[in-house]
Structure 1
Amino acid sequence: MAEKQTHTFQTEVSQLLDLMIHSLYSNKEIFLRELVSNASDAIDKLKFETLSDDSLVEGKENLAVYIDVNKDKKTITITDNGIGMTEVEVNKNIGTIANSGTKKFLKGLDEKQAQDSNLIGQFGVGFYSAFIVADKVTLVTRKAGTKGKKGTQWTSNGKGKYSTEKVDCLDFGTSITLHIKADEAEFLDEHRLRGIISKYSDHITVPIMMIKHSEESKDIEYEAVNKANAFWTQDKADLKQEDYDEFYKSLTFDFEAPLTQLHNRVEGNLDYTSLLYIPSKAPFDMWEPKRKGGIKLYAKRVFIMEDNDELMPLYLRFVKGVIDTADLSLNVSREILQGNKVVDTIRKASVSRILKALEKMAKNKPEKYATFWKEFGMVMKEGVVEDFANKDKIAKLLRFATNKSDDATQTATLECYVKSMQKDQKAIYYITAETYESAKGSPHLEIFNQKDIEVLLLSDRVDEWMVSNFGEFDGIPLKSIAKGDLEDLDSKEEKAKKEKTAKDFDKVVEKMGKNS
């Protein structure tokens, strides 16, 4: 055995561990959800790698997650025969938090937010949830495809430091042993663990195995304790709303039910299935430039990738779900996806379905759409600039506050604005400001209020950029009341009066010139 090395956790990791141990007391069972999800991801990654190199699996046919309980030693061990990690990867993935968005988020996290276990999975550090129920965690891992039978062992009690060392490791993959705290003994009950798996991980496509207890046989046998099916391949007629909600929660780690889902099976020139969800809450990192995409891409039910901008435009980055197609090669790469006709067609169809669903929601369920707009309105405003092909459709989905609004709630549509325009009005007027209150109190509004002309009050962070690139709606230009000539506000009578005043003034000036 090589020499043991001791390391100090990055500051953010220590902060996160403290949150895990002291704040997530109300929903401790999520530790199993997180560790099983990580194990499943590791197997998905290995399956993808074996498409180009089947020697990586070293002859193993059954890839699965195994959960073992030892009541005498008070341990739970979660083992996967997935991709595994090198020592460098262990230190990188477990000793530090590299994502800047996660670091920023942790710094601003208050105690109440820390108790939201949903956030743990969202910022991708679920491994540390092991310390909610364990006072010591040991991880042993070997990267698939590495020469020799040496792996890396990682050990920590979660109190600022961890150690790594080289150990003998016959199998590739990762094994995590949790030494359960004395007051968390309930999790040493196998029935309790099976219930947690059924609740959170039933639809994970990898089998989750536990020992099958039988009086007839003394041999150790394992049985799958989850359904392990590709949920999206099931017939819509056989699924209830609760089924869709549960799959959404297992897919996203969001405890709140989504606003709606779109489940489609397409056959013909293209063969694919899409199951897309619109969440009811915006993710904490929606404005992070390096945030991961929310769509998982499968080819013939084999997971390919999820963090790819080709699957969904940036302004729909909040959409979650799965796209599974038979028309992509299993060894597709990120580079191949760029400009790929299959992906382009699926993307266009998916965007069209989402926009139609939002249009239908706005028309038939305005209260639900108001919830959607409150959470995702700002990113939707990006769409009128970024998605030229769908500009008009997106523009009709936009909502604004105006000088006729009672408060800052954005409810006015451009269509309604146009219908209520004054007879001689030639533009859609707007004003931008840092806040709604500043816009509402602008002196520029005085003449518009006097003439009962509606003005859009724009105070979102994207508004200035949006209107400068938007141009027009329904052939009518957008015009800032703080810039340019506003003479078109005058009625014919007012224009005639101004012209007469100007002529009279010119006559007076001319007469004064003659008398001088």
Structure 2
Amino acid sequence: MRGGGVDQAFQVDLRGVVDLLSRHLYSSPRVYLRELLQNAVDAITARGAGGGTVRIETGGGLRVHDDGIGLTEEEVHRLLATIGRSSKRDELGFARHDFLGQFGIGLLSGFLVADEIEVVTRSAKAGAPAVRWTGFADGRYRVEPGERDEPGTTVTLKARPGSAELLSPEIVRELARSYGSLLPVELTVDGAPVTGGGPPWTVAHADPARRRRALDAYCRELYGFDPFDVIDLDVPEAGLTGVAFVLPQPVAPAARGAHRVYLKRMLLAESVEGLLPEWAFFVRCVVDAGELRPTASREALYEDELLEATRQALGERLRQWLVRLSETDPARLRAFLRLHQLGVKAMALQDDDMLRIVDRWLEFETSAGPMTLAEFRRRHADARYVTSVEEFRRLSAVAGAQGVGLVNGGYVHDTEIIERLPAVDPDAALPRLDPAELTTHLGVLDPAAELALRPFLAAARRAVERLGCEVVVRDFDPPSLPALYVTSRAAQHQAELEEAREMADGLWADVLGALNGAVQADRPQLVLNHRNPLARRVTSLTEEGLVELAVQGLYGQALLYGQHPLRPADTAALNRSFLGLLEWAMHTPDAEAGESK
């Protein structure tokens, strides 16, 4: 077509819009009552008379009555018949934070459970007549004179087939209590009151113990547990008040905390995520906020700068509670740390005060038993730490016996905490242990014994030469340990490079080979314990073949004891030594004499 076009209005398929709401916006059709309550409370707020009443009746369909500001006929056409129209709060010029919902989309939620919605309303403006608006799920609506003596609105729903249960008295009472029990209006269902004294955390008690008992009971009602402690929350810029209930049992840090959030005392959702920092998984919160924004479905919080600031402020409140606990009730702090140490450790990675609390109060696994880092440093001037649980288990007994205190840094956040401690206390530096250091703490033999062992050592070194290992004899505790496999971090790195080179293709094998050649590291050592009776008997052997089998057997045992990974060459040596020693035992003179009998 040539020339200017003609503007056309979009045609809206109301059934399609309702299907979109039910499948993609709202999580459940049960939210219909929340939307109706929001509209009623907003109408009461707009009238500005204070107080207000919302009555819900369930006989012969659902009716929601309010004594709010009501609508004129012109407003009915503008606000109820145009999908996506600006909210009533904007039309009437009120501040955004005064209202809960939005008339247009909110009223459409009634079509989730009904095929017909009737609204009878009368504006509070002087002389305004009552108006009846009837909307149908097929997209039609009708406006006609209505009957109502006082300003306000009545919304009536007639259940569609299959939705009658959602409008039943039992379900309506349950939904009204869930969504509206804290509303600042008088809310009743079939004459029975739903609203009471407001948020429990705002109820004043002359006796703090009585208030705590009331909040404990509230926590049991909501979550089914008695809280370890209750923390009051207050973020003025978000208009937020509430309480955090500290969980009385451990919880997995990966589980995101879900919190009960009210907006202007209307329930937003029971399981809102993202309200607190991720490390604060040890609390469950119930809060009411006046300034935080909901998402379009009004079942979650909109991620913006205010929510981020609120999240940080709530995290700071939890941090202050912990600091105060450390100053006023150390025994209770220790009990808390035993339950929720992972959350506190996560805080300590970013917060200096939390780091000091962890250093002073949180027990770590050490070679001297469970102990705080501060106490361990006082007791062990030559303290070290290792970065894995396996390495700690391998070396702690030997290190402890030689007077080298060892801290296990292999659990979540432990190594990062140990390495961050000098940031708050330069004297708290704790060096990392290089396993090769241990050999410098092991006792050496006297010169005569060392000289006598030279032939054995020569044969022993030949036995493990192709395994990339050296053999030394030392005198150390515990005497029950016959041999110890010790490798430095540089040697481990070199071994990993060699293993990667063997598995790589030609080009990468050459590159890794060049890197491997550039690394000069001490070879791993098999340290035989001269205090162990078996090791001493092995060092007294003179037959080279038997020395080879025995030393390779001790080598394999040391690898298994230390939980070192076994290479194919290690496994072959271990099998060879086992079978060789078994065959040697079966051919000893005593064994042959037994066979002859």
Q: TM-score of the superposition, structure 2-length normalised?
A: 0.41
Larger helix proportion of the pair: 2
The structure with the larger Rg is 2
Scaled by the length of structure 1, the TM-score of the pair is 0.47
